Structure 1
């Protein structure tokens, strides 16, 4: 078996993506490997398996318990804990990467270097720099790479765009993005957690640092650790901000010009690092964008998520226009006039054809056929990373200073007011909390880096990460 240190170099030398790929006939079966078999991974495998002409031929997860569960669903598939064995199998045409966020880019690049097409879950990267490397690899190896923001394949989005273009609600003033969902403490151990005996921990870690884990559960809660996850902003954010970039900006705004964020992790006193209450402003140079996440309940003692004005839990976008507003999610939405009268109800399917769209593009070999082509989803993921970057650079919060950071824009003050009201309803005293407010980061969209006074070494370091030896995302793909 190839050593992990030399795998990526040998892959680049041993394979030409074009020569390594099987030439597929129009009716030939496409053989897929599903890498990462948690709830989303097993779901993705199931959605792919329903597409005509697709076979789930290989199952991969560092946890044999997950493999055993998936094997019951796909009894004829080969299994392995080591994704490098998948890359070496020339009979595999494409991989579906549903690992932890820290593995998304490296697994995808290895697959492309081995001549395979890729479906990679959101966020498509763990940081902005490696997201660009993902795009570079797709271009270099001429691979079909689909991002896992499935609502891109929902006809609902084109219907909303057409409605906005018709002008019934007038010009867009700003967009507020929200996601309020209840979560709970992940606990805090006094002694580090021992990974389950069924897990190959070295393979599970991959590019991430080998750091002690103090949460109670090994699986899923990696989301709330910066080493492996990107918090709620990187969990729901890619869906919401991808909707925004597609519906409102039509993919013409790659990155915002400026981003500022604040918030914190309150009430739980657990091992999590990422905020459970997070708010951000994004200056696009045209339509302002604000976004916030609340993971605490609507009120202490009530088992219900928070609410905001015209939305309920499932809504993603509130598009405020001069003559009305739209509020909705990937499942549907409603347009209203300025008096609150319904103008139109939109019904979507959540993007149920996203897997089929990926398979169709594999057969056509045209990346332009993809609904969620990798660069589009790279940008949407990067918006989330920028909001996280500002938060992680945060200093002690001062409400007056926070409000003054975005002058003459009342919706920003509304977000901050909602944040304080959320704390009060959960019986939390803001003066006693570790609330952070980050800097207003200035961004060079073309170079995907920070500029100006906020381009500090600390800020620039967050654009990438330190990779564990043998699992480095390559500087040159």
Structure 2
């Protein structure tokens, strides 16, 4: 039976008192063989949209104290603090600089819900400060930052969960079990599609003054200095290379991850064949692509990615999904449902597999949070550790890089972390941090 922090302190203090001494126990004790306290003390860094949603799932477990909120926008910060108080009866301390949060000894874990360009720096600093981390996907905005984050989690022995919540989805767990048990026969192809209106980017708007209450220089952080524009801020920042990777890195990491999970791949792609362009006739404000087709050849199967921003229709009546094609059957899945379609055996006059249908799935953010909190206490490896997050992110980033350098085929050396056939692509592996920020070194 695992001890709680409270009971461990009590028993240790009693034993020490009996010997005439009082022992002060270091924080590392809690992350070694002893589980954390009955309630995990959590801080949220980046309080808008998904970050706050993930905090809500943590608080809904009733296993968490929210001790701190941090955001560079005081308007967001104050609104979310009030919501935490109203919904959960908790009153976290508010901060505008994440480093002040990490200085607190009572913070066990942090949730990183910032734009992608901040993920690496905050995650590494949190690990160095002895905190466990739930970091939103994609794990980082560049390949080099992903590599650094993997090293940091290992060096500081932290529990790090990347927010690819489909790893805890009943739908996709069922699908993986069906395929790995041989139900569809030999897997040959994984076809993935993602069609969403928002992927087009935003309608152009002029640069403007920084809104009141916003620390814009801190929001930019390590990203290049630029005049404030509302399209590069809340809600649509991910369509600019400085901060994100568009629809590809937003949905791509989720869906491509399913094609990697089926064979437990945790490496970057050896070869990526990419077509990437902006084909929508509308004038939109963005750097990223609205149309992409990508092929990822694997050892004995192939993954394909088909993305069209600006539309909402797709195969099998779903705007997004994954199709697993085997010799005996095909499975089509999204987050809410899956179907197994058997092939027909002409010789035996019978289906080659049993048809399966399930349509009671749901979003799995809560299950992913449950897994994280369990691992914070048990020190087990979570369902989406940094190695898994890195693999999915690299498939998305390398595809985007291929489009940016206009090279259809890129070959990647995962051991040496470099492109074999394109030096221009190698220049995009690491970001150049704006001073005074520095790329972390592990």
TM bracket, shorter-chain basis: 0.7 to 0.9
SS of the aligned residue for 1:361 comes to helix
Counterparts of 1:300-315 in structure 2, within 5 Å, are 305-308=312-315, 310-313=316-319, 315=320
Cα offset, 1:306, TM superposition: 2.8
SS of the counterpart of 1:268? Answer: coil
Distance verdict in 2 for CA 1:202–1:342, change over 3 Å? farther
260, 266, 270: which one pairs with 1:245? 260
- Tell me the equivalent position of 1:358: 372
1:187 matched residue in structure 2: 203
1:432-455 CA distance string (max 9 Å, x none):
xxxxxx33000112223211xx23
Distance 2:93 2:141 in 1: 28
Q: What's the CA shift string for 1:167-200, capped at 9, x where partnerless?
A: 33321121111111122551223x4233322210
Note the 1:75-474 alignment, pairs <5 A.
75=85, 76-183=91-198, 185-189=201-205, 191-214=206-229, 216=231, 218-246=233-261, 248-249=262-263, 251-252=264-265, 254-265=267-278, 266-297=280-311, 305-308=312-315, 310-313=316-319, 315-338=320-343, 343-346=355-358, 347-351=360-364, 352-366=366-380, 368=381, 370-394=382-406, 438-451=407-420, 454-456=421-423, 458-474=424-440
Residue 51 (str. 1) matches residue 61 (str. 2): yes
Mapped partners of 1:277, 1:238: distance in 2:
16
Greater mean deviation of Cα atoms: 46-55 or 151-160? 151-160
Partner SS for 1:104: helix
Task: Give, in whole Å, the separation in 1 of the partners of 2:270 and 2:392.
Answer: 14
3-state DSSP class of the match of 2:372?
Answer: helix
Contact 1:255–1:284 (Cα < 8 Å) also in 2:
no
1:195–1:262 Cα change, 3 Å? farther
Q: Distance in 1 between matches of 2:231 and 2:267?
A: 38
Output the CA distance in 2 between the equivalents of 1:204 and 1:20: 31
Question: Do the aligned partners of residues 19 and 143 (structure 1) sit closer, same or farther apart at CA in structure 2, a change above 3 Å counting?
Answer: farther
**Deviations along 1:34-57, whole A, 9 cap, x unmatched?**
011111011011001112321111
Residues 294-323 of structure 1 show CA distances to partners (whole Å, capped at 9, x for unaligned) of 1123xxxxxxx1323x3521x421112223
- On the 8 A contact 1:215/1:271 being kept in 2, the answer is no
Query: Aligned in 2, Cα 1:205/1:26: closer, same or farther, shift over 3 Å?
Result: closer
CA shift at 1:135, angstroms? 0.8
Contact 1:112 1:138 in 2 (8 A): yes
CA apart distance, 1:89: 1.0
Q: What are the ranges of 5 or more consecutive residues in structure 2 without an aligned counterpart?
A: 1-24, 86-90, 345-350
Counterpart Cα distance in 1 of 2:54 and 2:65: 13
Instruction: Give the drift of 1:263.
Output: 2.5
Range moving further from structure 2, 40-49 or 147-156: 147-156
Give a deviation string over 1:263-314, Cα, whole Å, max 9, x none: 32222212211011122111223211110211123xxxxxxx1323x3521x
Distance (whole Å) between structure 2 residues aligned to residue 288 and residue 53 of structure 1: 42
Secondary structure of the 1:59 match is strand
1:19 Cα offset (Å): 4.9
Distance 2:181 2:58 in 1: 36
Offset at residue 68 of structure 1 (A):
1.2
Deviation at 1:81, TM superposition (A): 1.1
Instruction: Return the offset for 1:107.
Output: 0.7
Taking a change above 3 Å as real, the CA distance of residues 216 and 127 of structure 1, as seen in their structure-2 partners, is closer
Q: Give the whole-Å Cα distance in 2 for the aligned partners of 1:22 and 1:93.
A: 12
Deviations 1:351-376 (A, max 9, x none): 2311111111111122x2x1111211
